[in-house]
Amino acid sequence: MNAARIESDSIYDVFYKYGLFVTFAALAVLFSLLNHNFFSGANAINLLQQTASTGIAAAGLVFVMVAGGIDISMGSTIFFSSVIVTTLTNGGVGIAGAIGAALLCGIAVGCLNGFLVSILRIVPLIVTLATLYIVRGVALALTGVQSLSFFNKVGDAVAYTRIGGAIPIVVLILVLTLCIAQFVLSRTLFGRQLYAIGNNANGARITGIKVRRNTFLAYVISGGMAGLAGMVSGAQVGVITPTFADGQEFIIITSAILGGVSLFGGKGKAFPGAFLGVLIVMCIENGLVMAGADKYLYTIVRGLVIFVAVMIDCMRNKGELR
């Protein structure tokens, strides 16, 4: 009886392991049938460029979610960071300064989230909901609720530089971020301890893991990555409107969940997991554009994707004690 159970579990495992790849492949085939340009090298690079910002942010979010938390303030952090970076670079700050500023903005928000969640022990959803509004408010105050344009040397350098004339620099940043994130998650003590905290925080405490410190760091990382994502997407879009990155947190969260990062904590990967999730979501959006879909379809499809992602996550966690 026991053997049978383990066997049937592993069938599920196989499905969950490769289901993601299959879904992605199926989507790619579907959209290439709808539009012949979809399967071109140019569109592949294009797709990667589009995923850069969301992918970077999702890599950061994995740290928080693996530890059993959630960060819905990422969209606002992205906006905040892009506003600061734009203002600074328009004032003549160079690329290194821009990257530093972007990271610092995010880390500041992350510290606030981390402090409230791990030290004051307030529910993560509520903490980051509050920072979502506060951070956007602060950034709006800085802009005077006006659009900013990010058309300067740094913006162009980030958005258009291609290494060897082929690989855009944002894609490189994305790949590096994903690799480092996944390495830290799977191959360091800190990473493993996050998985332990997400699985059983109390048990982790008894085992001698510094739960508060690690949780705090997870939020700092997620904030920092959102900051970096803000610089990337700001440079790509060129104009920072007051609604810039509004609601992007849900695309990031949906992608992560779709990519197998559990809402219940303790499970998930930045790469390939969350990144594949981002690709799938972007593919759907990209495909809708190419298929010339109506505007309202976007939000409906987004809603459906969130629903499917969470449903799969709940099915995966069915019956498991934690």
Partner 1 sequence: MNEPVLELKRISKSFSGVEVLKDISVALRGEGSILGLVGENGAGKSTMMNILGGVLQRDRGEILLGGAPYNPRSAMDADEAGIAFIHQELNLFSNMTIAENLFLSDAPGSKWGVLSYRAMNAAARRAMQYVGIDISPSTLVDTLPMGMRQMVEIAKALSRKARIIVFDEPTTSLCTEEKEQLFTIIRDFSAKGISMIYISHALDDVLALCGEVAVLRDGSIIGQLPAEKATKADIVSMMVGRKLDQLFPYVPKHPGEVLLRVDSLCGQKAFRDISFSLRAGEIVGLFGLMGAGRSELANAIYGIDRIESGRIFLLGESVRNPAPEWWIGKGVAYITENRREEGLLMPKTVKENLVLANLRALGGNLGAIDAPREEKDSAAIIDRLSIKTFDKSRQSAQSLSGGNQQKVVIGKWLLTNPRVFLADEPTRGVDVGAKFEIYSHLNALAEDGSAILFISSEMEELIGVCDRILVMSNGSLAGELDRERFDQKELLNLAISRCY
**Which three-class secondary structure state does DSSP give residue 181?**
helix
Nearest of 196, 176, 310, 218 to residue 255 by alpha carbon: 310
CB of 67 to partner 1, least distance (A): 12
Under the criterion CB under 8 A, does residue 3 sit at the interface with partner 1?
A: no
Under the criterion CB under 8 A, does residue 259 sit at the interface with partner 1?
A: no
Q: Which residues pair with 240 in a beta bridge?
A: 148
Instruction: Please choose, out of 28-36, 89-97, 192-200, 295-303, the segment that lies near partner 1 by the rule CB under 8 A.
Output: 192-200
CB of 270 to partner 1, least distance (A): 16
Options 114, 266, 273, 277; binder of partner 1; rule CB under 8 A:
266
Q: Which residues contact 108 (CB under 8 A, 6 or more apart)?
A: 223
**Which three-class secondary structure state does DSSP give residue 162?**
strand
Distance CA 225, CA 126 (A): 20
Options 150, 195, 219, 275; binder of partner 1; rule CB under 8 A:
195
Under the criterion CB under 8 A, does residue 121 sit at the interface with partner 1?
A: no
Distance CA 86, CA 98 (A): 8
Rounded (10°) CA dihedral 53, 77, 140, 108: -140
Rounded (10°) CA dihedral 248, 252, 257, 258: 90
Under the criterion CB under 8 A, does residue 12 sit at the interface with partner 1?
A: no
Under the criterion CB under 8 A, does residue 243 sit at the interface with partner 1?
A: no
Structural tokens at position 178 = 């994903």
Structural tokens at position 219 = 């939020």
Q: Binding mask 124-153 vs partner 1 (x if CB under 8 A, - otherwise)?
A: ------------------------------
**310 and 221 in contact (C-beta within 8 Å)?**
no
Q: Binding mask 267-306 vs partner 1 (x if CB under 8 A, - otherwise)?
A: x---------------------------------------
By CB under 8 A, how many residues form the interface with partner 1?
27
Beta carbon nearer to partner 1, 42 or 206 = 206
Where along the sequence are the contacts to partner 1 (CB under 8 A)?
A: 1-2, 4, 6, 9, 187-190, 192-193, 195-196, 198-200, 203-204, 206-209, 266-267, 320-322
